[in-house]
Structure 1
Amino acid sequence: MSKLQKLLIGGALALLLVGGAGAAAWWKFKRPAAQDHPAETAEAAVDPIEYKYITLDKVIVMLRNGEGETGSHYLAVDLVFKTPPRTEKLTKEHLPLLRSVAVRSLSNQTRAQATTMTVDQLAERLNQAYAASYQAEHHEMPFAEAMIGKLIVE
Structure 2
Amino acid sequence: MSAESIVKLKLSVWRDFAPGRPLSLWKGDQNGQQVISSDSEIQQEIFSWQMREDPFDGVLEQEDRARLRAGLLDRFEPSRKPSDRRVERLDEFVSEVDRILNGGRAEWTISLDPPREDEDAPYRLNSLLALRNQIEWLIGSFGGIPGLSVSVR
Tell whether the structures are fold-level matches, with TM greater than 0.5.
Answer: no
- Structure number with higher relative contact order (C-alpha < 8 Å, ≥ 6 residues apart): 2
Q: Which structure has greater helix proportion?
A: 1
Give the TM-score normalised by the residue count of structure 2: 0.26
Give the TM-score normalised by the residue count of structure 1: 0.26
